[in-house]
Amino acid sequence: MDFDSHVSGTVLAAVALVNAVTPGLRGGRTAEAPGGADLVDAVTAAVQHATTQPVPPVPADDAERLAGWADRLRTVIEHVEGGRVDDACTHLNSVLADSHAMPALSHHDGEPWHLHFHRPDAAESDAWAASLATGLAVVLGNPTLDRLGVCRAEACDRVYVDVSRNGTRRFCSTACQNRVKAAAYRRRRTAS
Ligand SMILES: [Zn+2]
């Protein structure tokens, strides 16, 4: 896919954040919402996808707030998966508004000027939420919309963004894809 590389990074970060911190099912097992130091690690690792600069550990209270934003981003992707584009876009608009998303050019740490999606003075959790929501907004506002989805494998609700050329991805991971293939193979053997 040919997104702006920063946009691609923020979308990957949004997907990683949703998958790391929202409870549900992962590859046939229960996915618990992490807490405490695990939550800080999970959030920090997720947002690292958005930047080539090393991200210092996200403060614990910001990590808690980002977990709340992640629930709302999951809802957006679930609406896309369900074909409810109006609901997805309306819901994402409310995340953009509530996180005070705002384009602003910035040049810090010796980097060339580049576009941030949050106010320079935003709290860290709001800044990340605004960035990740804006990345998703670029995807939702384009024919790339159907590149977002929820894993189709049984007992899995992790989300994905399909950045492949042909855009045929339906699973969160190769593990889930292989699980589904193996189950289909077993069904064929039983049927014959
Ligand atoms: Zn899966």
Residues 6+ apart with CB under 8 A from 112: none
The arithmetic mean of pLDDT across residues 125-139, rounded, is: 95
pLDDT surpassing 60 at residue 3? no
* Interval between CA 155 and ligand 1 midpoint (Å): 8
User: Which pLDDT value is given to residue 1?
Assistant: 47
What is the span of the domain harbouring residue 95?
Answer: 5-191
pLDDT per position as a tens digit, 158-191: 999 998 888 899 999 999 999 999 988 998 888 7
User: Which pLDDT value is given to residue 164?
Assistant: 85
CATH assignment at residue 134: 1.10.3300.10
* Interval between CA 91 and ligand 1 midpoint (Å): 24
* Interval between CA 126 and ligand 1 midpoint (Å): 28
* Interval between CA 18 and ligand 1 midpoint (Å): 13
d(CA 191, CA 72): 42
Domain count, the chain: 1
